[in-house]
Amino acid sequence: MAEFLQQLINGITQGSVYALIALGYTMVYGILRLINFAHGDVYMLGAFFGLFIARLTRAQADPNPLKAAAVLLFAMIGCGLVGFVIERFAYKPVRKSSRLAALITAIGVSLLLENGGMLLFGADPKFFPQFIPARQFALGMGVTISNQQLIILVVSISLMLGLRFIVLHTRAGKAMRAVSYSHTAAALMGISVDRIITFTFVLGSMLAAAAGVLVALQNPKIEPYMGIMPGLKAFVAAVLGGIGNIPGAVLGGLVMGIAEVMVVGYLSPTWRDAIAFVLLILILLVRPSGLLGQPPAEKV
């Protein structure tokens, strides 16, 4: 029982990171119907931006909470800028073309970020400074939680609540929901669709950057290809919960994280990459629109 609870805690931590990345996929898909394949690489860039700022502020030699916050904040701002540039120069020109052209462009951007990262950062893994020394807290019944896991949980939950506030209670959020419903109708209501799309990209990229920094805290080895697998899995998580649906992405991420940790814990670590996709196919066959998604109305 203790082992199961421990795995559950690890799974939820892992899942909340997937959820953060999945939110970016789901928001962009909801608005543009585009699978933004470069999103996993933005997450990678987030970890690298965090690394640079940590080095710049010498956070490892002299750690304090303010610097940790600065690392997170500036990584998010940096990736927000990257998201803006990607949207403006790669996706906007193909927005009027077929969806496949947009998809191939997304794949091109993803390859560009990975290989550009190789060029700039080098192929060898870099070590993210451990400016928050690991400490374990006992929760009773032999279950422990580390302070890093706590930070991941607290930061990701507050970011999700922040996103929820933006989407549900601000003018920009209202506009986002309107644009995802219909571009034309939103434009007719005086919403600047282009600006809202850019806003969505920036928001999603910032969440991915936060996920990158949080993961780097726990697994300090970072390299330019680290975004591919988490990116794919987060995308699967978004589909699992119902793509385009924001609470669905969080739920999908959690389900995915827990399933993965359970497979590693009770079955075999070599199967951990397969479970995500097995789960996905099973759920799609039973509920094609995902756990929380609405089946699309078919217009004839």
Partner 1 sequence: MRQLLWLLGATAVLAAINVVLPRAVNPYIIQIIVLCGINIILAVSLNLINGFTGQFSIGHAGFMAIGGYGSAMFTLYVGVGWVSVFTAAHVPVPVAQGVALLAALIVGGLLSALAGYLVGLPSLRLRGDYLAIVTLGFGEIIRVLILNVDAVGGARGLPGIPGWANFFWVGLGVTAVILVSRHLAMSTHGRALFAIRDDEIAAEALGVDTTSYKVLAFVMGSFFAGVAGGLFAHFLSYLNPNSFTFIKSIEVIAMVVLGGMGSISGSVMAAIVLTLLPEVLRPVKEYRMVLYSLMLIVLMITRPGGLLGSREISLSGLLRRFRPARERA
Tokens encoding 230: 């988490």
In angstroms, give the least distance from the CB of 223 to partner 1.
Answer: 15
Closest separation between CB of residue 250 and partner 1, Å?
Answer: 19
DSSP states along 180-243:
HH-HHHHHHTT--HHHHHHHHHHHHHHHHHHHHHHHHHHS-EE-TTTTHHHHHHHHHHHHHH-T
Q: How far is the CB of 129 from partner 1 (least distance, A)?
A: 27
Q: What is the dihedral of CA 200, 84, 35, 76, to 10 degrees?
A: -70
Q: What Cα–Cα distance (Å) separates residue 130 from each residue in 66, 134, 237?
A: 15, 8, 29
Per CB under 8 A, which of residues 103..132 are in contact with partner 1?
A: 103-105, 107-112, 114-116, 118-119
85 binds partner 1 (CB under 8 A): no
Q: What own/partner pairs with CB < 8 Å and gap ≥ 24 does 180-184 have?
A: 180/30, 180/31, 180/244
Q: Scanning residues 202 to 231, which ones bind partner 1 (CB under 8 A)?
A: 228
Q: Buried b / exposed e across 39-73, counting CB within 10 Å, b at 16+?
A: bbbbbbbbbbbbbebbeebebeeebeeebbebbbe
Of 86 and 213, the one with the shorter C-beta distance to partner 1 is 86
Among the listed ranges 68-76, 88-96, 162-170, 214-222, the one in contact with partner 1 (CB under 8 A) is 88-96
Which of 56, 274 has the CB closer to partner 1? Answer: 274
Smaller CB separation from partner 1, 94 or 151: 94
| 273 part of the interface to partner 1, by CB under 8 A | yes
266 contacts partner 1 (rule: CB under 8 A): no
Both tokens assigned to 286: 């039973």
- Select from 132, 232, 262, 291 the one that contacts partner 1 (CB under 8 A): 232
CB-nearer residue toward partner 1: 24 or 50: 24
Residues contacting partner 1: total by CB under 8 A = 45
Name the percent of the chain in helix, strand, coil, to the closest 5: 75, 5, 20
Distance CA 22, CA 33 (A): 15
Task: Check: CB of residue 144 under 8 Å from CB of residue 136.
Answer: yes
**Residue 243 interacting with partner 1 (CB under 8 A):** yes
- Shortest Cβ 196–partner 1 spacing (Å): 22
Show the binding pattern over residues 5-44: x = contacts partner 1 (CB under 8 A), - = does not.
----------------------------x-x---------
Residues in touch with partner 1 (CB under 8 A): 33, 35, 90, 93-94, 97-98, 100-101, 103-105, 107-112, 114-116, 118-119, 228, 232, 235-236, 239, 243, 268, 270-271, 273-274, 276-278, 280-281, 284-285, 288, 296, 298, 300
